[in-house]
Structure formats: C-alpha cells, structure tokens
Amino acid sequence: MIFHVYQCADCQLTLFPERYFCPACGGMHWRAMEAGVGTIEQITRLFSRAEAPENEPLVLATVRTEPEAWVVAQLEGTMARGERVRLQMLDDGKVMAVRA
C-alpha cells in the first residue's frame, strides 16, 4: 500500500495527516504525495500502557519523509536514529515504520 503525505496546493507546506485548511496560508486544497521512505529522527518508548503485556514498550519514531514532512509511526523491530524506513498505513489506521 502506498503511503501519502499531503501538500498545500497554495504554499507547498507538506503535512501528515491531511488538514481541513493549511496552518501556514489558510489554503484548503491539498494534493496527495507518495512518501513511502524516510529517516528516523527521534525515538520514544512508552512503557506504561493498559493494553500492553507487562514490560513490553510501545516504540514510536518521528520520521522525516521525502517529500519533507514529519510523521509519527510505530516501529516494527529494533531500529535506531538515522535508519531509513518505509511507512505503511495499516487497515486499523496505525502508521508503521519498517526497515527500507
């Protein structure tokens, strides 16, 4: 499945997820852009979650995509800052990052 970020047709600000209007210029027209590959910039581990097995953290990453947008995704497996990942949107709406 192709992962998309959204670019404002008026000022070219690129975001995920798509917004009703652009926070930079107020534009209301967006174009979907393929953004399947990116670089891990930050990693966060969440250790306290009601639905998780004990001691199993949820690992999230901030991914800088091409084109330039920032996406928060759940990591699949052990990864580090600077690694290249491919973004996928799952059927339940989760965004996953897997090794590129």
**Contact between 40 and 77 (Cβ < 8 Å):** no
Determine the number of helices (DSSP H) and then strands (DSSP E) in the chain.
Answer: 0, 8
The rounded Cα 79 to chain-centroid distance in angstroms is 15
Entry pTM = 0.86
pLDDT at residue 9 above 80?
Answer: yes
**What mean pLDDT, rounded, does the chain reach?**
91
Residue 56 confidence (pLDDT):
76
Question: Bigger pLDDT: 25 or 100?
Answer: 25
- Closest CA relative to residue 85, chosen from 66, 65, 95, 100: 100
CA–CA separation, 53 vs 16, rounded Å? 30
Could you give the domains of the chain?
Answer: 4-99 (2.40.50.840)
Residue 49 confidence (pLDDT):
64
pLDDT tens digits, residue range 75-86? 988 899 999 999
